[in-house]
């Protein structure tokens, strides 16, 4: 089978869960059925790889759109990249798109090459209304592109059962066309690695427990709610925030103000590392952290939680989206209920209550080092049993075959 993977993110340009998914899925697809399949990746960037049965071509469009609306620029330049992608794609049996950034190219390729179109549902634009802060009215256009792609796709992969339900209801898609295939984890790469030098490197006190957050500064990840909750957490806990790449200038300022205020309101040490750290550092921090925290308000799956669990670190997370399919409450971590407004399904009904509940869950778990250790062991076993990339790639190949047939 000749497979085309279309994606915005591909190494070294990976900043989110979709990019991680594509990176590891691609590696494993090449191994399935004794390595008889070919994979052609077209992504955004300047990558250029040709080895064995993998080719990677980065699209780096030199034409810059002159638009009166600055927020429309990114969308329009993305569409140009999509047209270029469709123009260079050839000799494939199926095209598999990841996120709206490549959906237009997938739609064109389906028609131009007469091949099936598969989409993986990493997120859904109508469930991320805060994207309007980045895209302005172009958010309406990205939502329209996504809707059109789902209505024309031949097969859809949802990364969780929650996402299958959402995409089926939102776009009125037959459930038989949607298959649940989870995200995975590279168990050889993500495993406990104890290194006290990493604590020295980032000024973390090795004699005190620390909570770890890893992610972009975006409303989706709920990081401002986490920062607001710090004043409710018992003293003598460190909070390490590996948080960079803010979606907008506005949320960057909001984050800075929240951290400044939290430092005044608590004696807990807050260590903010405002950048996306290399994988090797993140794995060591996962392994050394007492607890990993994921306060997301929207999380179709939550691959970041798998990474922490693989390093034997329990997770405290909001009970939203696909997270309940990863974490077993009380066994591999804790989930904190989250209530959304009855008038606005994307706003919290009572943010302060959620922040206090999150802090309470942290305090309760930190009281029991034995429970933390037990949850860490359970977490590693769970990802080993269910979330290996090999099994996920196998299921993906079988879904391709089903879709083509």
Using the predicted structure, report yes or no on whether residue 342 has a pLDDT greater than 90.
Answer: no
Beta-bridge partners for 4:
40, 95
CA pair distance 324, 335, nearest whole angstrom: 8
Name the percent of the chain lying above pLDDT 70: 100
Using the predicted structure, report yes or no on whether residue 66 has a pLDDT greater than 90.
Answer: no
Euclidean distance between the first and the last CA atom of the chain, given in angstroms as a whole number: 13
pLDDT confidence of residue 276: 86
Mean pLDDT across the chain: 94
The alpha carbon torsion through 310, 359, 276, 206 (nearest 10 deg) reads: -70
Give the length of the chain.
405
CA pair distance 223, 293, nearest whole angstrom: 10
Exposed / middle / buried, residue 370 (Cβ in 10 Å: 0-12, 13-18, 19+): exposed
The pLDDT tens digits of the residues spanning 153-188 come to 999 999 999 999 999 999 999 888 999 999 999 999
Q: Which H helix or E strand runs over 254?
A: helix 249-265
Confidence of residue 63 (pLDDT cuts 50, 70, 90): confident
CA pair distance 344, 126, nearest whole angstrom: 12
Write the CA distances from 61 to 19, 43, 44, 79, integer angstroms: 20, 11, 9, 10
Exposed / middle / buried, residue 328 (Cβ in 10 Å: 0-12, 13-18, 19+): middle
- The DSSP code sequence of 192-205 is ----THHHHHTT--
Confidence of residue 345 (pLDDT cuts 50, 70, 90): low
Confidence of residue 292 (pLDDT cuts 50, 70, 90): very high
Overall CATH class of domain 2-184+388-404: alpha beta
User: Positive or negative CA dihedral for 71, 73, 76, 82?
Assistant: negative
CA pair distance 70, 51, nearest whole angstrom: 39
Nearest to 354 by CA among 302, 293, 295: 295
Token pair 């290996």 in the structure block, residue:
388
Backbone angles phi, psi at 123, to 5 degrees: -165, 170
Token pair 């993906």 in the structure block, residue:
396
Nearest to 212 by CA among 303, 316, 366: 316
Backbone angles phi, psi at 112, to 5 degrees: -70, -35
SS3 content of the chain, % helix, strand, coil (to 5): 50, 20, 35
pLDDT confidence of residue 102: 98
pLDDT confidence of residue 61: 78
The pLDDT tens digits of the residues spanning 17-40 come to 899 999 999 999 999 999 999 999
312 secondary structure, DSSP code: T
Overall CATH class of domain 197-386: alpha beta
Name the percent of the chain lying above pLDDT 90: 88
Q: Is the fold of 2-184+388-404 the same as that of 197-386?
A: yes
Tokens for 179, please give them. 């298959």
- Average confidence (pLDDT) over 188-202: 96
Nearest to 109 by CA among 47, 42, 62, 44: 42
Contact 21, 120 (CB under 8 A): yes
The pLDDT tens digits of the residues spanning 114-150 come to 999 999 999 999 888 888 888 899 999 999 999 999 9
Beta-bridge partners for 94:
3
Parse the chain into domains and list their residue ranges: 2-184+388-404, 197-386
């Amino acid at each position: 089978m000749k497979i085309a993977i279309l994606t915005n993110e591909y190494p070294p340009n990976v900043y989110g869960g979709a990019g991680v998914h594509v990176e590891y899925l691609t590696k494993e697809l090449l191994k399935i059925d004794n390595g008889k399949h070919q994979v052609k990746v077209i992504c955004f960037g300047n990558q250029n790889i040709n080895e064995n049965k993998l080719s990677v071509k980065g699209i780096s469009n030199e034409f810059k759109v002159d638009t009166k609306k600055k927020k429309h620029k990114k969308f329009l330049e993305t569409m140009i990249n999509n047209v270029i992608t469709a123009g260079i794609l050839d000799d494939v049996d199926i095209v598999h798109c990841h996120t709206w950034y490549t959906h237009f190219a997938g739609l064109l390729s389906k028609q131009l090459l007469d091949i099936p179109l598969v989409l993986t549902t990493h997120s859904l634009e109508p469930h991320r209304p805060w994207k309007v802060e980045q895209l302005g009215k172009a958010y309406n256009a990205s939502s329209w592109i996504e809707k059109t792609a789902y209505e024309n796709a031949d097969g859809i992969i949802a990364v969780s059962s929650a996402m299958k339900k959402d995409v089926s209801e939102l776009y009125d898609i037959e459930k038989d066309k949607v298959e649940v295939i989870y995200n995975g984890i590279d168990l050889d790469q993500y495993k406990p690695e104890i290194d006290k030098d990493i604590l020295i490197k980032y000024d973390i006190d090795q004699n005190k427990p620390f909570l770890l957050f890893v992610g972009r500064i975006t409303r989706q990840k709920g990081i401002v709610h986490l920062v607001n909750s710090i004043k409710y957490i018992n003293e003598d806990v460190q909070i390490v925030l590996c948080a960079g790449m803010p979606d907008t200038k506005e949320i960057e300022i909001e984050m800075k103000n929240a951290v400044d205020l939290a430092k005044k309101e608590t004696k807990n040490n807050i260590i903010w590392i405002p950048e996306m750290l290399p994988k090797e550092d993140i794995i060591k921090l996962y392994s050394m952290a007492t607890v990993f925290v994921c306060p997301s308000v929207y999380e179709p799956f939550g691959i970041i939680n798998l990474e922490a669990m693989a390093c034997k670190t329990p997770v405290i997370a909001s009970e939203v989206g696909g997270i309940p399919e990863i974490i077993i409450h009380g066994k591999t971590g804790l989930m904190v209920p989250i209530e959304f407004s009855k008038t606005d399904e994307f706003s919290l009904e009572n943010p302060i209550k959620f922040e206090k509940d999150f802090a309470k869950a942290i305090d309760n778990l930190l009281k029991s080092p034995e429970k933390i250790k037990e949850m860490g062991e359970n977490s590693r076993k769970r990802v080993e049993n269910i979330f290996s990339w090999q099994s996920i790639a196998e299921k993906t190949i079988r879904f391709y075959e089903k879709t083509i047939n």
